[in-house]
Amino acid sequence: SAYARNPSLELRNQLVECNLGLVRQVAHRISNQCSEPYEDLEQIGYLGLIRAIERFNPQQGCAFSSFAIPYIRGEMLHYLRDKGSVMRIPRRWQELHNKGKKIRKQLTASLKRSPFDWEIAEALMIPLEEWNECQLALQNRLLVSLDATISHNMDCSLSFGDTLPDQHYQAKQRLEED
């Protein structure tokens, strides 16, 4: 309530120090549900804590912890969403992919060679087609920049965007030819 009456950097930092446990609690819970390191989530959580401190109104009658946890959690989830891939991969495929990596290691050790995809699918007890789709989806989940160079010669370099057809230009060319 002293911060609400007279906001200062010093008071805010003291409130952050007093509420580190809230951030750690939320970071621990979320880090168990994703592959993001705990330390990264903790750092992001402090931003949420600061926002909560700055917006908290003690006259509203709720406990600060009840007010702050959604801010802390929201900041971490926004970070994970922004960092994640654009393409949503079904959870089943993510789990199959992780199990498949473990099985690949086990089979490589026992067979003394890299296993075939059908061997991994068999060990996962799924059809080969589903294993192939799962792998393809996870390989193609990241965006490719249109400026990425795919060919570089002495004379010129060719970007990925240069290889995509421009429908408007093609239509204009056909009109000019007609």
Q: What is the pLDDT of residues 48-85, one digit of tens each?
A: 999 998 888 888 888 888 889 999 999 998 888 777 65
6: left (phi over 0), alpha (psi -120 to 50) or beta: beta
- How many residues are listed for the chain in this entry? 178
Q: What is the rounded distance in angstroms from the CA atom of residue 90 to the CA atom of residue 68?
A: 31
Selection from 89, 114, 96 nearest residue 104 by Cα: 114
Instruction: Give the pLDDT confidence score for residue 162 in this predicted structure.
Output: 65
CATH architecture of 91-139: Orthogonal Bundle (1.10)
Question: Where in the chain is CATH 1.10.1740.10?
Answer: 2-83
Question: Where in the chain is CATH 1.10.10?
Answer: 91-139
Q: Which residues of the chain have pLDDT under 70?
A: 1, 3-4, 84-88, 140-167
What percent of the chain shows pLDDT beyond 70? 79
CATH value of 2-83 in 1.20.1600.10, 3.40.50.970, 1.10.1740.10, 2.30.29.30: 1.10.1740.10
